[in-house]
């Protein structure tokens, strides 16, 4: 039997009060007893399960019987692997039921609105999985680290974000928040790779190097996010990301867990199946 999970990811990765960002072993693979080869075997099988559940969510939304949704929030420093999750994990589903949004520096129009304006516009419709590649949390991460607004402004955003997520959950959205952590060294290797490969230049931004100098301030800002916005209705999951195979496997499991929690079944036929079979045979 392929080595598999000794502890369920939604339990072992869930942020607990008192957990320290500084203590995260970014090269570890919590709860998984296998190696990379085992992970590949398990991932292939679990990706199929995810895709089946994701399609069931979409089918239920389309049939009008269920307007629930799932929102996957990905936060992490550059190169943590957010794009890899979008491409390899979420992207293994049926694109009809997926809604992807990447959040960059706000445009002039976005800046003229409340910071949740662009976030609300990107929320997944019923039956969809929404994925946020960066999110409203940038408002207490990059904004806090770079003093883009005064402390008394970002300070009140934690409570505001909690209230916002409460509203989402009450309206039927399961919110899965994934904080992805790479080490400073691993980030350096990944940035070096981007500079060596013409097919990766598009991911490189000269400003990424300046951000590395602010690593301790980011660690502190991530700690505050976890301490203040991990709630029972929208907890954070802390995922070590130096091993790409591990974070992909872990997020696949978190999505399966969230979808299974919806206790869905396939929508029943709203027509007489036997009558349709007869009609078809005679046609
Ligand atoms: P990337 O995810 O690599 O495409 O980069 C997007 C950039 O936009 C990152 O440097 C983010 O920190 C930045 N960004 C995202 N949201 C905000 C925001 N609300 N204010 C300022 N910068 C932001
Ligand atoms: Mg980037």
112-159 confidence digits (pLDDT tens): 999 999 999 999 999 999 999 999 999 999 999 999 999 999 999 999
**Which residues are close to ligand 2, an ion, with C-beta < 5 A?**
78
| Per-residue pLDDT at 20 exceeds 60 | yes
Tokens of 104: 């960059």
| Per-residue pLDDT at 69 exceeds 90 | yes
Per-residue pLDDT, averaged over 220-246, amounts to: 98
Distance 77 CA to ligand 2 centre (A): 8
Which of 175, 238, 242 has the alpha carbon at shortest distance from 14?
Answer: 238
Q: Is 156 helix (H, G, I), strand (E, B) or coil?
A: coil
Nearest residue (CA) to ligand 1, atom 2: 104
Which of 57, 53, 59, 25 has the alpha carbon at shortest distance from 252?
Answer: 53
- Which atom of ligand 1 sits closest to the CA of residue 78? 3
User: Which ligand is in closest contact with the Cα of 105?
Assistant: 1
Q: State whether the beta carbon of 138 lies less than 6 angstroms from ligand 1.
A: yes
Q: What pLDDT digit, counting tens, does each position of 169-208 carry? A: 999 999 999 999 999 999 999 999 999 999 999 999 999 9
pLDDT at res. 1: 46
Q: State whether the beta carbon of 104 lies less than 6 angstroms from ligand 1.
A: yes
Most ligand 1 atoms within 8 A of CB, residue of 74, 117, 133, 134 to mutate: 134
């Amino acid at each position: 039997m392929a080595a598999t999970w000794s502890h369920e990811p939604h339990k072992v990765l869930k942020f607990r009060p008192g957990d320290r960002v500084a203590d995260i072993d970014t090269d570890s693979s919590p709860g998984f007893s296998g190696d990379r080869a085992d992970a590949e075997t398990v991932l292939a099988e679990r990706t199929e399960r995810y895709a089946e559940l994701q399609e069931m969510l979409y089918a239920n939304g389309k049939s009008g019987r269920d307007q629930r949704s799932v929102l996957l929030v990905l936060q992490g420093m550059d190169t943590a692997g957010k794009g890899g999750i979008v491409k390899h994990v979420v992207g293994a589903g049926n694109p009809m039921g997926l809604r992807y949004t990447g959040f960059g520096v706000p445009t002039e129009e976005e800046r003229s609105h409340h910071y949740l304006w662009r976030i609300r516009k990107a929320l997944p419709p019923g039956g969809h999985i929404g994925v946020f590649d960066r999110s409203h949390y940038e408002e207490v991460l990059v904004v806090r680290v770079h003093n883009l607004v005064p402390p008394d402004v970002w300070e009140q955003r934690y409570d505001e974000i909690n209230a916002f997520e409460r509203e989402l959950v009450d309206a039927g959205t399961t919110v899965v928040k994934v904080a992805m952590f790479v080490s400073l060294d691993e980030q350096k290797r990944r940035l070096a790779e981007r500079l060596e490969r013409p097919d990766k230049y598009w991911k490189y931004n000269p400003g990424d190097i300046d951000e590395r100098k602010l690593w301790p301030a980011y660690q502190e800002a991530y700690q505050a996010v976890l301490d203040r916005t991990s709630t029972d209705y929208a907890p954070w999951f802390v995922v070590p990301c130096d091993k790409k195979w591990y974070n992909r496997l872990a997020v696949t499991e978190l999505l399966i867990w969230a979808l299974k929690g919806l206790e869905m079944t396939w929508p029943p036929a709203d027509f007489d199946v036997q009558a349709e079979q007869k009609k078809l045979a005679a046609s």
